[in-house]
Amino acid sequence: MARTRFAPDHGLTRRMGLTMFLIGLLYVVFVGVLIAAFGKAWPLILVLAGGLFFVQFWFSDRIAAYSMGAREVTPEQAPELHGAVDRLCALADMPKPKVAIADTDVPNAFATGRSQKKSMVCATTGLLRRLERDELEGVLAHELSHVAHRDVAVMTVAAFLGVLAGLITRIALWSGLTRGGRNNNNVLFLLIPLVSAVVYVISFLLTRLLSRYRELSADRTGALLTGRPSALASALTKVSGQMARIPTRDLRQAEPFNAFYFAPALSGDGLSRLFSSHPTLEQRLDRLGRLSQELGRP
C-alpha cells in the first residue's frame, strides 16, 4: 500500500496476497492442462494467455469505466463532486484521481485503476441527487480507500483467470469439434471444460471472499479518515433503500459490475447471499455502529 493517511489493514493485505498466490497456482495448473491438450501449439497458448492478461490488467479500468457509463468531468462541470474529492485527498495525503460521473438513476459509486496515479472515482447522478454533503464524502472516502489499498487492481487480476477459463473453454470446444475429435486427444478435450469449470468456480469463490472483506475494510478506513462513521452508515441505508425504487431492468444492467460498486445493485436472499460480492447491509451497519462507539461519536 502506498503511503497515505488511510489506516492500513494488514488483514486485507494478507488476504490479497493469499488470493493472488492461489489464483497464480490455478493459472499455472490451467495453462499446463492447455499445453498438454494442444501439444505443439503451446506457444500459441502462452501468447494468448499473456495477451489477454496484458489487456485485462492495463485496460480493464478503461473498459470497466466505459461499460458503466463513466465520463470524466472537470471542476467546472461538477464543482461539488470535485470539491469533496479535493478535501478527502488532502486529508488522506494522496494524489487526486480522475473524477467521473455516470448518468444513471441507480445510486452508486465505484473506483477503478491499477495504481493511485491511474485511478478514477465515479459517482452516479442518482447518488449525487440523493445524498447530503457529509454522506457523499463518506461514500467517496470508501472508494478512495479501495484506491489507497490497491485492492481494485488485485480484484481485476483475480477475476482475470475466470474470464480466461471461460474463453479458452469455448475455443477448445470449437477446436475439438472442427478437428472431428481425434482419438488421442479425446480425453484431454473432454478434460479441458471440466478443468475450466473448476478453475472458474474456485476463482469466483476466492474473489467473492476477498470482495466482501475489502468492502468492510473500506467502510472502516473511509469512516476513520472522515471521522464520521454515522455519515457513511446513513449513506448506506439511504442507497440500499432507494435501490428498491429503481426499475429492475436498470438494476439488471448494473448487476454484472456489483464487485466494483459501493453497494450491490441487486442483493439476493438465502443461498445467493453466500456468493454475494458485498457483506449484508446489517453487517456493514453493525461494524460502523461499533466504530462510532470506539470513536465516541453519535
DSSP 240-295: HHHHTTS-HHHHHHHGGGGGGBSS-S----GGGGGG-SS--HHHHHHHHHHHHHHH
State how far the Cα of 66 lies from the Cα of 61, in Å rounded to an integer: 8
- Of the residues 143, 255, 282, 294, only one is catalytic, namely 143
Cell 447522478 maps to which residue?
Answer: 125
DSSP 109-173: EEEE-SSSTT-EEEEEHHHHHH--HHHHHHHHHHHHHHHHHTHHHHHHHHHHHHHHHHHHHHHHH
On whether 142 is known to bind a ligand per the annotation, the reply is yes
The one-letter amino acid at 18: L
Long-range contacts of 236-243 (CB under 8 A, 24+ apart): 236/263, 236/281, 236/284, 236/285, 236/288, 237/281, 237/285, 238/107, 238/130, 238/131, 238/135, 239/107, 239/108, 239/127, 239/130, 239/131, 239/139, 239/263, 240/281, 242/107, 242/126, 242/130, 243/106, 243/107
On whether 80 is known to bind a ligand per the annotation, the reply is no
| Catalytic status, residue 282 | no
Point out the annotated binding site for Zn(2+).
142, 146, 215
- Catalogue the active-site residues: 143
Point out the annotated binding site.
142, 146, 215
